[in-house]
């Protein structure tokens, strides 16, 4: 019997409906959540992602500002732009589209974003909060994966989750999120990667298997436990002369064969992808709620009882953060 299909597009719509209620409540208080997206250069894939984010903001009625700079923009110019967005009260979330041109240090850019506006969840303050289970901003794709599991009836609590891929964008954070002593987590997590010996013997242990290694159809049916839940984060373009455009998109999982063995599986496209953007919207609304002293996740105004952390990035010498970020890279191994 074929696996049930976990459709990220449908779950994302559920979350959008919830956000509309929260956004309406904020607007009644005169607050419109605002997102600034910065694109440097003319990378076609990045341009497409930026357009989708702008469309998502428009759909929900968020204030959206897309700032496009030429590829030869200097690092200092970009950092100055971020400073101005940090100070702009209309902006609750800042996202700098990666990758950046090679002459710009991505680490410096991430560090420059106010952690309270870091809706990508990449600043080391938010990464640290995620690891110790304190409230901050969770990175969009890993948080989206958690939402997919819970909302599809595949709660990870008590399950063995095997994550394949150790990137700072997906692999490490999804492992950190699912291992927390919290609702929607409490999993036993194994993190495998490109240097793991006998990878198949590890992946077959997973009640839930998250594939995020960036290798087309790497995960075959014989690598999957019978009845496992499979989350495919991969998005790989492969040549296909029979396709209308001469290519097609596939995940990191051999979907057609694995779906006959798994109990549930995400498709590519239409699986994890839609979740990433809606979780970005969710983080932006969360930031607006926090800035207004409104309890996040509720459609009514209420004072937040959780005190703000006493130490912000602006209070910490940049040299210290630079040292902590020496190994912070945005690559999939």
CATH code of the domain containing 51 = 3.40.50.10860
**Residue 52 lies inside a defined structural domain of this protein:** yes
Q: 245 or 302: which carries more pLDDT confidence?
A: 245
**Residue 150 lies inside a defined structural domain of this protein:** yes
What confidence score (pLDDT) does residue 320 get? 39
Give the residues across from 239 on adjacent strands. Answer: 247
**How many domains would you assign to the chain?**
2
**Residue 259 lies inside a defined structural domain of this protein:** yes
Residues 159, 214, single domain; the answer is: yes
- Kindly report, residue by residue over 83-142, the tens digit of the pLDDT: 999 999 999 999 999 999 999 999 999 999 999 999 999 999 999 999 999 999 999 999
Residues 236, 197, single domain; the answer is: yes
Task: Compute CA distances 324 → 115, 123, 143, 329, whole Å.
Answer: 15, 11, 24, 12
**Residue 58 lies inside a defined structural domain of this protein:** yes
What confidence score (pLDDT) does residue 1 get? 59
Name the pairing type of β-strands 34-40 and 4-5.
unpaired
**Which residues are catalytically annotated?**
53, 97, 120
Residues 53, 163, single domain; the answer is: no
What confidence score (pLDDT) does residue 307 get? 42
Residues 110, 175, single domain; the answer is: no
Residues 198, 151, single domain; the answer is: yes
What confidence score (pLDDT) does residue 48 get? 86
**Residue 222 lies inside a defined structural domain of this protein:** yes
Residues 248, 283, single domain; the answer is: no
DSSP secondary structure letters along 53-92: HHHHHHHHT-EEEEEEE-TT--HHHHHHHHHHHHH-TT-S
Tell me how far the alpha carbon of residue 49 is from its chain's centroid: 13
Domain coverage including residue 53: 29-118+275-293+307-318
Helices 44-60 and 8-28, interaxial angle, to 10°? 50
CATH code of the domain containing 156 = 3.40.50.720
What confidence score (pLDDT) does residue 295 get? 77
What confidence score (pLDDT) does residue 323 get? 37
Q: Where are the alpha helices (DSSP H) in 152-294?
A: 171-178, 199-203, 255-258, 273-291
Q: What is the pTM of this model?
A: 0.86
């Amino acid at each position: 019997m074929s696996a049930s299909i976990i459709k990220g597009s449908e779950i994302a719509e559920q979350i959008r409906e919830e956000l509309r209620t929260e956004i309406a409540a904020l607007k009644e208080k005169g607050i419109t959540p605002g997102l600034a997206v910065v694109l440097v250069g003319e990378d076609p894939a990045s341009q497409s992602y930026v357009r989708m984010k702008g469309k998502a903001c428009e759909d929900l009625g968020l204030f959206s500002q897309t700032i496009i700079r030429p590829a030869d923009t200097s690092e200092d110019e970009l950092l100055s732009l971020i400073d101005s967005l940090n100070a702009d009260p209309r902006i609750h979330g800042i996202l700098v589209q990666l990758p950046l041109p090679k002459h710009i240090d991505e680490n410096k850019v991430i560090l420059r974003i106010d952690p309270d506006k870091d809706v990508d969840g990449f600043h080391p303050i938010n990464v640290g909060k995620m690891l110790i289970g304190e409230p901050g901003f969770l990175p969009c794709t890993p948080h989206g994966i958690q939402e997919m599991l819970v909302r599809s009836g595949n709660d990870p609590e008590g399950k063995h989750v095997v994550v394949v891929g150790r990137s700072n964008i997906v692999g490490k954070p999804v492992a950190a999120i699912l291992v927390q002593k919290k609702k929607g987590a409490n999993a036993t997590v194994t993190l495998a990667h490109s240097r793991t010996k006998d990878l198949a013997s590890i992946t077959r242990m997973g009640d839930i298997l998250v594939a995020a290694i960036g290798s087309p159809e790497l995960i075959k049916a014989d690598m999957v436990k019978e009845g496992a839940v499979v989350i495919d984060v991969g998005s790989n373009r492969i040549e296909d002369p029979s396709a209308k455009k001469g290519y097609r998109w596939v995940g990191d999982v051999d979907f057609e064969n694995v779906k006959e063995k798994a109990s549930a599986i995400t498709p590519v496209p239409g699986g994890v992808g839609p979740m990433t953007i809606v979780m970005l919207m969710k983080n932006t609304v969360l930031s607006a709620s926090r800035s207004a002293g409104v309890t996040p996740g509720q459609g009514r105004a209420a004072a937040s009882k959780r005190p703000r952390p006493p130490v912000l990035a602006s209070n910490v010498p940049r040299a210290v953060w630079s040292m902590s970020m020496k190994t912070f890279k945005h690559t999939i191994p």
